[in-house]
Amino acid sequence: MGSHQHDRREFNSPEEAFEANARGLIEKAKKQSEKLGIPVDPITFAQREDDDINALRAVIAKEQGAVSRMEAKEVIELDPRLTTFKADFDKDATLQSKCSWAEIQTRLLANEGHYLALAQAMEGGGELFGADRDGNILFSDRGDEPIMKGMNYKDTRDRVLYKHDRYDKDGKMQTDEAGKPISTGYEMFPYSDKYAKSDEILQYEAHTGSPFVKSPNGDEWRSSWVESGENPSWPRNVYFNPDFGYANVNLGNPLDEFGLRGVRRLLRVKKA
């Protein structure tokens, strides 16, 4: 099995050192595979001249088998309430490269299912579509059209961010004992720069293969307010033009109450 004098100072046996070495090579191959978009053999990264390559390859196969068994166990133990979200995850290779399904499930079920309830309460039962730069898991309202249509920017933003008695124009905002509004846990999608889509919007479009907002058949104009601050002079919206078939960021009058403009909500699921 070759000499492992350095390993013997850190491990109880050459076999234990081999297993640690194999796990390291598997992790390097995984990162390289994600970077190149093609499978990479872990043995490619073996550098120790005294390694028995055949023996090391056998240990790598054993370790990879253990990983496969763990993944199979995740599927067997899938909470039935998460079936739709698991389907969202399984179809998205980019999301799979950013986090594991086990981590997503853990976060959704933590704190008595706090985030699960928020995700399920979204339009269409919610859609798992990505992860932001801080590792927060992203959910959105599911479906083509925006929701809460026909309200101006302020009313729309208030109803996304803060709890109301009803989702209509006459609903009163709920407040706590200090008189402060109570958060819903949701956000409006952000935009980037002046007229650019944010990473969250781009991830949504990549995941769904559809514009950020559009009509069911893609033949009608639609738009969705996006987060532009509390009192903007010109808030942004993302609008869908059926003549072109895609959605762009645009400026809007904060007082506009178009019947075909609404909002798509965003939920960030953080670590427990």
pLDDT digits (tens, 9 = 90+) for 29-83: 788 777 776 777 777 777 765 566 777 777 777 777 665 555 545 554 789 999 9
Q: Give the pair of three-digit tokens for residue 3.
A: 């000499």
Q: Is 236 within a domain? A: yes
Range of the domain at 53: 5-76
Can you tell me the distance from the alpha carbon of 218 to that of 234, in angstroms, rounded to the nearest whole number?
27
Domain count across the chain:
2
Beta bridge partners of 178: none
Lowest pLDDT segment from 81-90, 131-140, 160-169: 160-169
Can you tell me the distance from the alpha carbon of 211 to that of 238, in angstroms, rounded to the nearest whole number?
10
Can you tell me the distance from the alpha carbon of 177 to that of 116, in angstroms, rounded to the nearest whole number?
27
Q: Give the pair of three-digit tokens for residue 228.
A: 């532009």
Same domain, 141 and 47: no
C-beta separation of 254 from 154 below 8 A? yes
Q: Is 127 within a domain? A: no
Q: Is 15 within a domain? A: yes
Distances (CA, A) of 207 to 33, 95, 112, 182: 20, 9, 28, 31
Among candidate residues 76, 109, 125, the one where a domain is terminated = 76
146: number of Cβ within 10 Å: 25
Same domain, 146 and 217: yes
For the ranges 74-88, 163-177, 238-252, the one whose mean pLDDT is highest:
238-252
Q: Is 92 within a domain? A: no
Same domain, 253 and 155: yes
Average pLDDT value for residue range 127-137: 96
Average pLDDT value for residue range 129-139: 96
The yes-or-no verdict on residue 11 having pLDDT over 80 is no
Q: Is 93 within a domain? A: no
C-beta separation of 2 from 50 below 8 A? yes
Q: Is 121 within a domain? A: no
Q: For residue range 178-192, what is the model confidence (pLDDT) as tens digits? A: 999 999 999 999 999
Containing 267, the helix (H) or strand (E) segment is: strand 265-269
